[in-house]
Amino acid sequence: MSDTAIDFDKEMVGTVEVTDKDAMDLAALTAWFEANVEGFEGPISYSKFKGGQSNPTYRIDTPNRSYVLRRQPFGKLLPSAHAVDREYAAMHALGPTGFPVPKTYGLCEDPEVIGSKFFVMGLADGRSLWNGALPQCTPAERREIYNSMIDTFADLHTKDPVAIGLGDFGKPTDYCARQISRWTKQYKLSETELMPKMERLIEWLPQTIPPQHGSSVVHGDYRLDNMIFEKDANRVLAVLDWELSTLGDPIADFSYLMLNWHNPADGRAGLLGLDLEALGIPSQDEAVERYVARTGYPVPPMDWYFAYNLFRLAGIIQGIKKRVIDGTASSAHAREMSDRVAPLVDRAYDFALAAGMEG
């Protein structure tokens, strides 16, 4: 097991004591639980999960059951950020279909109760895995875990949003066109230098969007560390972190997961440079084949979608870079992130060339 993986386990897994700045009014919370959560019996004790979520997440323990509470940050928020109500809606609709999500207990949209909107779900008691190489597993176990991750994703993408009550969860068509337009605008608003390769992508991507094959619920950030696996089986127990979910192009969503096959193996989800065959991890072609077989979708033009996803990431990270330069993002992590824009643009450009763009 690599040192990096140990660090992630130490930093991200488990809970810590709640500090004053994250404290909640337990009396008000208990009253809300009594009114809204079936089968609830107090008293409540609580701790905070360590992981780097944008929405603070707590473990709520009672004498006979444990819950998870996820809330918006206290204070002023950007209009569409920290969408705990979207997270709740997605899980609440998917749970009854048998899809692996935590059980939903209730959503509180009244910020007066604890100071922000929040929702309560069941505790998915399983394993958190961070390192894509799965160093503690055998080749057969690794293959089972990856196959379960791909099958679960295919199952999400073949659910009919209207049939499960999510028909108005987003605009079902032109997903990639809207994303490209959105991130082009954001990029231009935070541009810090002229990058010819980015200009070429801005011109080429909207002209070459593949036809969208169907519309589905898309997760938006589906990766190894956003799920919990069963303790004693190599199966997905629960998919978490639905705040970016919407309706859209399932292949754009799937290709975001597949980018991990091209991201450096640094102790997180990336697999580039690893001997996948020896590890028992499916190759990109095997993973795509499995997804296509389960969904019935045509084989996607992966190079175009990789170019698109890397372009989108470059747009997101350019925003962080601008804030670093303006002095409004102070963390060392933000500064390190901002150095990633040019390499992301280079990689997006290379995939675009592979997809047929003329340089």
In a domain, 162, yes or no: yes
Domain match, 151 and 264 both: yes
What are phi and psi for residue 32, nearest 5 degrees?
-65, -45
Grade residue 81 by pLDDT with cuts at 50, 70 and 90: low
In a domain, 287, yes or no: yes
Decide which of 123, 155, 181 is a domain's last residue.
123
Which tokens belong to 333?
């992590």
Other residues' Cβ atoms within 10 Å of the Cβ of residue 109? 11
Whether the Cβ atoms of residue 170 and residue 182 lie closer than 8 Å to each other = no
Strand pairing of 104-108 and 66-71? unpaired
What are phi and psi for residue 261, nearest 5 degrees?
-70, -15
User: Amino acid letter at 289?
Assistant: E
Domain match, 105 and 144 both: no
In the chain, % of residues over pLDDT 90: 77
In the chain, % of residues over pLDDT 70: 91
Decide which of 77, 96, 123 is a domain's last residue.
123
| DSSP assignment letter at 191 | -
Domain match, 104 and 155 both: no
Rg of the chain (C-alpha set):
21
In a domain, 298, yes or no: yes
Distance CA 158, CA 296 (A): 9
pLDDT of residue 212: 93
Whether the Cβ atoms of residue 306 and residue 254 lie closer than 8 Å to each other = no
CATH of the domain at 206: 3.90.1200.10
Domain match, 141 and 74 both: no
3-state secondary structure of 153: helix
In a domain, 154, yes or no: yes
Domain match, 135 and 118 both: no
Residue numbers of the domain that contains 154:
130-354
Decide which of 103, 123, 143 is a domain's last residue.
123
Domain match, 80 and 208 both: no
Domain match, 104 and 205 both: no
Is the model's pLDDT at 329 over the cut of 70?
no
Which tokens belong to 240?
């978490």
Q: Quick one: which of 186, 176, 197 has its CA closest to 320?
A: 186
Query: How many domains is the chain partitioned into structurally?
Result: 2
Distance CA 352, CA 307 (A): 5
| DSSP assignment letter at 285 | H
The rounded mean pLDDT for the chain is 91
Domain match, 117 and 135 both: no
Strand pairing of 66-71 and 216-218? unpaired
Is the model's pLDDT at 291 over the cut of 90?
yes
Grade residue 7 by pLDDT with cuts at 50, 70 and 90: very low
pLDDT of residue 13: 63
In a domain, 359, yes or no: no
Whether the Cβ atoms of residue 155 and residue 99 lie closer than 8 Å to each other = yes
pLDDT of residue 6: 41
Backbone dihedral region of 174: left (phi > 0), alpha (psi from -120 to 50 degrees) or beta? left
pLDDT in tens, 157-188: 999 999 999 999 999 899 999 999 999 999 99
pLDDT in tens, 116-165: 999 999 999 999 999 999 999 999 999 999 999 999 999 999 999 999 99
pLDDT of residue 22: 87
pLDDT of residue 206: 98
Grade residue 52 by pLDDT with cuts at 50, 70 and 90: low
Half-sphere exposure of 182 (CA within 13 A, CB side): 10
Domain match, 60 and 159 both: no
Is the model's pLDDT at 8 over the cut of 60?
no
Domain match, 83 and 140 both: no
Domain match, 193 and 276 both: yes
Distance CA 318, CA 339 (A): 9
**Single pTM value for the model:** 0.89
Is the model's pLDDT at 79 over the cut of 60?
no
CATH of the domain at 53: 3.30.200.20
Q: Quick one: which of 32, 25, 31 has its CA closest to 46?
A: 25
Q: Quick one: which of 274, 289, 278 has its CA closest to 2?
A: 274
pLDDT of residue 352: 98
Domain match, 205 and 73 both: no
pLDDT of residue 56: 86
3-state secondary structure of 45: strand
Q: Quick one: average pLDDT of 322-329?
A: 75
